[in-house]
Structure 1
């Protein structure tokens, strides 16, 4: 039986499977219950679109969680209802609107947010799987799996933080692991009580919980301070005789020293937390298949340094010891292994604000220094044109330069079609980019005018004439090299971020290929506002 993207305290069991749904925003233990007079019934259709199929439970904030179906797109959804709507639902709706602006494979998609005054509801992605809390109830995770979970959560936070927003609700109840292994973070909140630093420290809490089965509650002293938000339903953290938080290695055997160190550093208020993208890069460096036996290697995972050692990029956050040689390794990791992080809506120039830069590339043995990897930056596009292989008229080719001019108010757009698949007259249309020379690429960000677009990113090594036949040859050649996963029209948001580039390869030619258009009041059409390529 499927479950929505987020767990709850209450469960329903059917056929041996346990369904946990949407713990969502935390509620204080003293919070009054939410009134639910006039609660919906199975079969009711909300907003003439969302059919309620089964009431799963009420989450910790008193909201009703239903499994539903979008009768227009014929897909399962989770519907979270709050009674009444209006002012009491403002925070829930604001959080949903903010979350809908960020697309990332480790974030639960938010589809809709509606206030009907007497009730309000949020429609979001339905995820088949279990919460981290449910998984760990059967025993702590092995270090490799805990690292993978931490990497996914940090990557999701980096995407959120790149927009200037805060998630504010990271804990084992909002971390979901789907049946196909995807890790997703759900239920952001916008009450202003949290910061990006507290989000990052919460990753330490997630790692601690995954490794030990305990959550470092706010009530637990940690080097003389508190350690984060309380989760009364999760077992209290383990403490030593002095009342301080016990390290994961003190709780269970088999935790590598460097993973233990990182977890404790993230929870220690005396150690400044690194930015979420830097943390994600370091966890990505270690997020490798368990059969590769990476845990047998003493590779460092600390984000601090002694004064007599060369610091790594993580050392800029302050704190403790880092093993010699981390700077050169992490420099490569920051370029090659950072996955899914994007600067959505950030008004800072990527040219002057790289994700991270190595502070040293000195070898431990005093030998020849390893060249440091170049900082990630916005790459200049030397040429751009529209690829339209199935058009005889070819009257949609003008204005391609507007997608790389740095001005989102200027855009290139398709004509308006009668169906989402270009009136079935063509396979699609695309924007071709020439970077002028081969580059290592981290991500390609595509800003669109509306939700509901389907697109895929291809790469190629050849050019073709700007004719119908040339476009057909170009598409056929480039389709052999797909970058990352395609974005489907069912996914929310107006920004697409393509990663999946090979760190040891360089790319010069790219093709953003659009296969499905979103609808508007006239038909089906999309404007491409800006395409940004980041790399080195």
Structure 2
């Protein structure tokens, strides 16, 4: 890959392993040289805060990617610079500002966007791991892992689309898998050249690539497919003499029929795709541990209807794909409290799905005892209390029941603290402790807050000490299992944690607040509502 300076992102290693930041816009053979006059050097500190540590990559858009450190918060960051700033960097800065408004565990966090005229730069979360493109070079992924990755990408897109925005750059180079297994989507665009529908169809491309190691859009690429990773970087999908793409089950053995059908439906331009939240719900339903995968063989996966008067292609028939019957209206989505009703095509059975996971009714013939996937629903909280280990007067404990009463207009709130958002340096934090009554499989926890600017994390534990200063100290000391990523200086009023282990059951959870939000006279925070989804 030609570039004027710096090694390729594929060759940077730390301790023998590849380190990536998920740019997804590597230079192609026709890319012009990247301007490096006045380029920064290692050790330089930008905006009196971000120290540049190591040059990682140059890309075809004229951007330089550096690994850096936020010297104030002492956390690693990725710094993406462009020369010059001003008008030439407008799209990059606008995309960063837009992305920073959407907080989701499956989106790369964007921390800062600065235009200094002679250069502009975006500061965002550093991801140690590798892209899906690089992961698949080791061979196609197993169906369970491919489903989990597709679920994460669809969930991230659902969060983006809920704001009315488009990601516009979904492909294997922008899907990152961290060393801890977290899947994140990076490098959104805001130039208006794409659509939410193309975002959703790109999830089909992600599933296809994960299952086969081939990218199905080389001849008619999605935005970013050729610029970031074209035919030279990713093998084109297997095609017949007429150019039709082969189904994953024709490329490799072991791909379940329901996943093959879903992937090919998303890639079929004649079939209207679902919304991103419906797709995320379906993939969440299918995202189960590998050892339980056989439960889903006949569970009635989501299908999208095409014109029934058209004959199926010979390639589709050879691959054993079922022909969807009816019209697109058969996918009736009633978003009433995000309750999604989906008619199972090809029979009279119906799936009733609650976001984000469906509760399927088996489409197996009578007499087949195929277990159905568990329904994800709002779990009942049996007990809730405020955890305040560093206070002697314990004056802020009242009102905990308001965070689970279903009314976001009422909630529990802290007192006002002076000086700094971290409780004026008087406390390490405060939290809301939740008891589900018995162990449950938990899918997500959502906390609705009174204001923006707070920092918090979700922890899990197994102990229930008494409600006292000493008891709270014991609880905080023992709750070490972090769920998902912490939210720092959060610029929204909703935090969603969905990094739960599917093989673990949870009873006790702790929403732990480390920094308060700015308020009149100091800093404070209200927790309006906490909901837990699981089975």
Aligned with 1:107: secondary structure?
A: coil
Please state how far the C-alpha of 1:22 moved relative to its aligned partner. Answer: 3.5
TM-score norm. by structure 1 comes to 0.73
Alignment of 1:220-239 (within 5 A): 220=220, 230-231=225-226, 232=230, 233-239=233-239
Shift in CA distance, 392/278, structure 1 to aligned 2, threshold 3 Å: same
Q: Report what 1:127 is aligned to.
A: 127
Tell me if structure 1 keeps the 8 A contact 2:450–2:525. yes
Aligned to 1:173: 173
Q: Which residue of 1 aligns with 2:283?
A: 283
CA distance in 2, matches of 1:363, 1:264: 22
1:243 maps to 2:243? yes
Separation in 2 of the partners of 1:18 and 1:32?
26
Question: Secondary structure of 1:453's match?
Answer: strand
Report Cα offsets for 1:468-524 as digits up to 9, x if no partner. Answer: x668768978998999717536475433113459999999x986442x225879998
Does the alignment pair 1:298 with 2:297?
Answer: yes
Change (3 A) 1:510 1:162: farther
Root-mean-square deviation over aligned CA pairs = 5.0
Provide the secondary structure at the position in 2 that maps to 1:64.
Answer: strand
Secondary structure of the residue aligned to 2:447 is: strand
Q: Is the 8 A contact 1:312 1:360 kept in 2?
A: no
Query: Structure 1's 20 and 433: CA in aligned 2 closer, same or farther, altered over 3 A?
Result: closer
Instruction: Give the corresponding residue for 1:444.
Output: 446
Q: How far apart, in 1, do the equivalents of 2:384 and 2:17 lie? A: 52
Aligned to 1:185: 185
Deviations 1:170-191 (A, max 9, x none): 1000011122222211111122
Give me the whole-angstrom Cα distance separating, in 2, the residues matched to 1:364 and 1:504: 32
The residue aligned with 1:531 is 529
- Superimposed CA distance per residue, residues 402-442 of structure 1 (whole angstroms, 9 cap, x where no aligned partner): 9876469x99454224566535644533457999xxx9985
Structure 2 unmatched runs, 5+: 1-6, 306-323, 335-339
Any idea what SS the aligned residue of 1:145 has?
helix
Alignment check: 8 A CA contact 1:272 1:318 kept: no
Q: Which runs of 5+ in 1 are unaligned?
A: 1-6, 221-225, 336-353
Match of 1:202 in 2: 202
Indicate conservation of the 8 Å contact 2:465/2:475, yes or no.
Answer: no
Instruction: Check whether the contact 2:456–2:511 (CA below 8 A) recurs between aligned residues.
Output: no
CA apart distance, 1:45: 0.6
Q: Which residue of 1 aligns with 2:456?
A: 454
Instruction: Find the counterpart in structure 2 of residue 338 from structure 1.
Output: none
How far apart are residue 132 of structure 1 and its match? Answer: 0.9
d(CA) in 1 for partners of 2:146 and 2:475? Answer: 40
Go from structure 1 to structure 2 and tell me whether the alpha carbon gap of 1:155 and 1:128 turns closer, same or farther (over 3 Å shift). Answer: same
Q: Is the 8 A contact 2:129 2:178 kept in 1?
A: yes
SS at match of 2:523: coil
- Give yes or no for contact 2:154–2:203 (8 Å, CA) kept in 1: yes
The answer to whether 1:429 aligns with 2:427 is no
Does the residue aligned with 2:52 lie in a helix, a strand or coil? strand
State the match for 1:136 in structure 2.
136
- Structure 2 CA distance, aligned partners of 1:374 and 1:21? 36
Q: What is the TM-score when the length of structure 2 is the normalising length?
A: 0.73
Using the alignment, how far apart are the partners of 1:168 and 1:13 within structure 2?
Answer: 29
Deviation at residue 240 of structure 1 after TM alignment: 0.7
Alpha-carbon distance, 1:229 to partner: 5.6
Per-residue deviation, residues 250-276 of structure 1 (Å, max 9, x unmatched): 222332222211111011122221222
Matching of residue 496 in structure 1 with residue 495 in structure 2: yes
Pair 1:125–1:227, CA change in 2 (3 A): closer
Which aligned pairs between 1:249-268 and structure 2 lie closer than 5 A? 249-268=249-268
Cα distance between partner residues in 2 of 1:476 and 1:74: 27
Q: Deviations over 1:207-258 (max 9, x none)?
A: 11112222122634xxxxx777642242222211111112122222332222
Q: Is residue 44 of structure 1 aligned with residue 44 of structure 2?
A: yes
Q: What aligned pairs does 1:305-384 form with structure 2 within 5 A after superposition?
A: 321-322=345-346, 325=349, 327-328=350-351, 331=352, 334-335=353-354, 365=366
Contact between 1:311 and 1:359, CA under 8 Å: does it hold in 2? no
